[in-house]
Structure 1
Amino acid sequence: MKRIRILLLTLLLFITAENIAQTNYEPTQSNLEARQWFEDAKFGLFIHWGVYSILGDGEWVMNNQNISIDAYKKLPSFFNPIEFNAEEWVKIAKNAGMTYITITTRHHDGFSMFDSKASDYNIVEKTPYGKDVIKDLAKACEKEGIKLFFYYSLLDWHNDDYFPRGKTGNDIEGRKEGDWDAYINFMKAQLTELLTNYGDVAGIWFDGDWDKKDENWHYDEIYKLIHELQPQCLIGNNHHDALKQGEDFQMFERDLPGENKTGFGTSESNVGRLPKEVCATINGSWGFDLQDKKHKSKKELIHYLVRASGFGSNLLLNVGPMPNGKIQDEHIQSLAEIGDWLKINGETIYGTKAGIIAPSKDWVSTQKGNVLYVHLLENRTTAFVIPEFNASIKSAKLFATKKKVKTKQTKDGLLIEIPESDQNDIDTIVEITLK
């Protein structure tokens, strides 16, 4: 009996492994090149936009207010974003120094923001606007040389076939039972549409796995489908866990890689070696929230970008456009301020890797070859001591002014002396050339 149990358990683990990842995945040359581009890109714009923006209470409003299926279906009938301008959005991103955009094509409410034949519950069929905003954005991105990623929710509070249900949306009135296999086929059909009707897609950004952690999501089939349709297309999955086979980059929500300050994030032991991306909000919300007063300062936003780079990661910074299709003025202003900073200091961010100096609350480092950029962020003293620094230094200077910086190896580490008058309120960058 014990041997039978062991055999059954082994078989179960084998079946599960077959279903959670794209087995025997070997990335193509175009995929490897895309990974390298992504690792160097460093800064992207996340856009959470859907019919939920009408209510001005974030993208989780259907769940948080337990809005019934029938009531929520009324929202698309007065979603008419006549001020949406895809080219304007892309230029805002480009002006911010961003190199790619990730937009929600379908969020947890189940409403598709693109022209889908797999379901008429979409922006073209159900709204007075009647246009495919994803198509417009794809054209604008291609024109401006900005890469486009598609966020796609695995979780669906609207579709009856998302059954058995998960941890969320269970108090939404009107949800019925359905067929899980039919739901998987529905997702495959929509992903096929996204990967065949919108030109080159830089990546698919999955979310919602955490709603049913033990479910068979058929990733083996889904990841294979994506890579067959567009081999260069990068796959990421916000499952807050170790990488699965078939995934091309690892994402971290509201957290730097391995820090897990949120409590639901990815532990340090599960941080892999593939390209990384941290996603964060420009204020406190992902989707448009009329009463969100947690707008981050210029310093906070630049520090987020610099710290992410110091962890060898991109930053995907989110805005939630208003229901009229406009991005809030204060968000545009903040993005422009980051762009101005990057015009001067971008050399220390783009194309870098995490530097040899480990990140701390006071500094991070980025690196290109033998050039090390030390970003001093918090400490306002005139002498900085970097512990456990053993590399030989050829020269050290302030990145901004090229003024020589005094350095000295001590028993406590590398001593860097910078007069307070030479320090920057946001980020004092020391450029060190190693021997």
Structure 2
Amino acid sequence: MTRLASLSIAFLILTGGAARSYEPTSENLAAREWFQDAKFGVFIHWGVYSVLGRGEWVMNNEKITVADYEPLAEQFNPTEFDADEWCRLFKAAGAQYITITSKHHDGFAMWDSKVSDWDIVDRTPYKKDVLKQLAEACRRHDLKLFFYHSHLDWHHPEYFPVGQTGRNSGRPESGDFDEYLDDMDAQLTELLGGDYGDVAGIWFDGWWDQQSKRFEDTRDASVRDTRIDWRLEQTYALIHRLQPAALVGNNHHIAPFAGEDFQMFERDLPGQNKGGHSSDAVIGDLPLETCDTINGAWGYNAGDKGHKSVEQLVTYLVRSAGMNANLLLNVGPKPDGTIDDVSAERLRGMGEWLEQYGETIYGTRGGPVAAQEWGVTTKKPGVVYVHVLKAPEPDADGWTHLSGAGKLAARSLKVLSTGIEVPSRIGAGDDLFVRLPKTDAATIDLVLVAEGD
């Protein structure tokens, strides 16, 4: 077999048989442009696992069987859930869209599924479809709605082979994976078939559960492998057929597959790997998104008090925008349907900052200066915003060294908030020196404006 043939077969295995090229529709391309303009969304991890208050991986981490996990649904009764209240909070935060878990790894559907009764309407005392309520509220409050949908499933009896996770759930030691995928596509059809209106996209997670191994360099398709055929081409085509504008993303931590419309990074800025998930990720040419949590957990964790500060969250948003990516910031609602006070306070704090500086984030693209330790740049036609997040100490003459920003030397720099001009001079190489005004301790981001192309 030739190397070219080997590469082709490996690529087909990797992409689930995606031999045909994907041509996005004009509606899809317009949605991608909107997505890049939006810059900030709220992620919501919420489900039966919230009852235990120990995160969304509790079934796997504590080796809970399906038989012992199912009764938790009888305790899930979110009577305090108010979709409009959520949307008002997210709008106050400055978010432009919401991504909520329609089905996480425990397989529990947060809508009234006809494929299975393992859902919020059939198994809980609440007996209401929270996704429908949220979809209607999003339309009222001008927020777009994405659905997170788990590829892997610790509950479904046909999810076999069992994969790398959920191995203690007590599922059968056999199964028909194609039947499982048929059910997954049927549930996606329910979500995208019209009852929930226009769905902005599907955020997949869990493809990695069926990888036979991780390779050091996944850029070479000849050394990439999956244990089974996920039928990605079929599933992606179904989504695009049902809703041509819907954007498909997949949290698989490697380069995008054919049929995907945006690329995501978990707990990392594009090109970084501090979270340990993105060592193989090649930055493609699709719109980018990074996701992280307000505290340490995704699903509700009653013991997690490590909430990030407003300064930390705003800094991450700004650095994301400077690297041409959106930020999807997660909250884990309580089992009663409310959002904890600290998370709500952090979201409002971000909204207060965006109320003043939103023009430097919304509708921008990554700026002409590569990300530096001191900060980043964002741009719109005719203007560059210089975000000084961590200014170096000035020298004895009061000049602050901004590495990599020499290309801005020919422009007039002004402080956005005051209009005061900032003196600047070119340094050695590609560096810039500026005389920055004094700022108070509450300043998160000193934004300078450079006008002109």
TM normalised by structure 1 equals: 0.95
- Looking at structure 2, the residues matched to 421 and 6 of structure 1 have their Cα atoms a distance apart, in angstroms, of 60
SS of 2:160's partner is: coil
Q: Mark the runs of 5 or more structure 2 residues left unpaired by the alignment.
A: 212-225
Q: How many corresponding residue pairs? A: 431
Rate the CA distance shift 1:134–1:292 in 2: closer, same or farther, 3 A. same
TM normalised by structure 2 equals: 0.91
Per the alignment, residue 337 of structure 2 pairs with 325
Counterpart of 2:350 in structure 1: which amino acid?
I
Provide Cα deviations, 1:147-195, integer angstroms capped at 9, x if missing partner: 0000000010001111011111112334542110100100010000000
Per the alignment, residue 220 of structure 2 pairs with none
Per the alignment, residue 305 of structure 1 pairs with 317
Per the alignment, residue 242 of structure 2 pairs with 229
- Looking at structure 2, the residues matched to 25 and 298 of structure 1 have their Cα atoms a distance apart, in angstroms, of 40
Per the alignment, residue 200 of structure 2 pairs with 202
Q: Mark the runs of 5 or more structure 1 residues left unpaired by the alignment.
A: none
Provide Cα deviations, 1:26-83, integer angstroms capped at 9, x if missing partner: 1111000000000000000000000100000000000011111111010111211000
Rate the CA distance shift 1:423–1:51 in 2: closer, same or farther, 3 A. closer
Question: Which has the higher mean CA deviation after the structures are superposed, 249-258 or 411-420?
Answer: 411-420
- Looking at structure 2, the residues matched to 423 and 174 of structure 1 have their Cα atoms a distance apart, in angstroms, of 55
Contact 2:155–2:169 under 8 Å retained in 1? no
Provide Cα deviations, 1:190-234, integer angstroms capped at 9, x if missing partner: 000000121000000000011112131100100000000000000
Question: Is residue 2:185 matched to residue 1:188?
Answer: yes
SS of 1:394's partner is: coil
- Looking at structure 1, the residues matched to 191 and 256 of structure 2 have their Cα atoms a distance apart, in angstroms, of 24
Residue identity (%)? 50
Q: Output the aligned Cα RMSD.
A: 1.8
Q: 2:414 aligns with which of 388, 391, 397?
A: 397
Rate the CA distance shift 1:361–1:22 in 2: closer, same or farther, 3 A. farther
Per the alignment, residue 361 of structure 2 pairs with 349
Rate the CA distance shift 1:7–1:234 in 2: closer, same or farther, 3 A. closer
Counterpart of 2:383 in structure 1: which amino acid?
V
- Looking at structure 2, the residues matched to 355 and 421 of structure 1 have their Cα atoms a distance apart, in angstroms, of 24
Contact 1:167–1:212 under 8 Å retained in 2? yes
User: 1:434: Cα distance to partner?
Assistant: 3.3
Contact 1:201–1:230 under 8 Å retained in 2? yes
SS of 1:390's partner is: helix
Contact 2:392–2:401 under 8 Å retained in 1? no
Counterpart of 2:252 in structure 1: which amino acid?
H
- Looking at structure 1, the residues matched to 358 and 4 of structure 2 have their Cα atoms a distance apart, in angstroms, of 56
Contact 2:151–2:205 under 8 Å retained in 1? yes
Contact 2:156–2:171 under 8 Å retained in 1? no
Question: Is residue 2:387 matched to residue 1:375?
Answer: yes
Q: 1:80 aligns with which of 77, 91, 100?
A: 77
SS of 1:425's partner is: coil
Question: Which has the higher mean CA deviation after the structures are superposed, 419-428 or 251-260?
Answer: 419-428
Per the alignment, residue 254 of structure 2 pairs with 241
Per the alignment, residue 271 of structure 1 pairs with 283
Question: Is residue 2:375 matched to residue 1:363?
Answer: yes
User: 1:360: Cα distance to partner?
Assistant: 1.7
SS of 1:286's partner is: coil
Per the alignment, residue 417 of structure 1 pairs with 435
User: 1:369: Cα distance to partner?
Assistant: 1.7
- Looking at structure 2, the residues matched to 392 and 298 of structure 1 have their Cα atoms a distance apart, in angstroms, of 32
Question: Is residue 2:451 matched to residue 1:433?
Answer: yes
- Looking at structure 1, the residues matched to 407 and 199 of structure 2 have their Cα atoms a distance apart, in angstroms, of 43
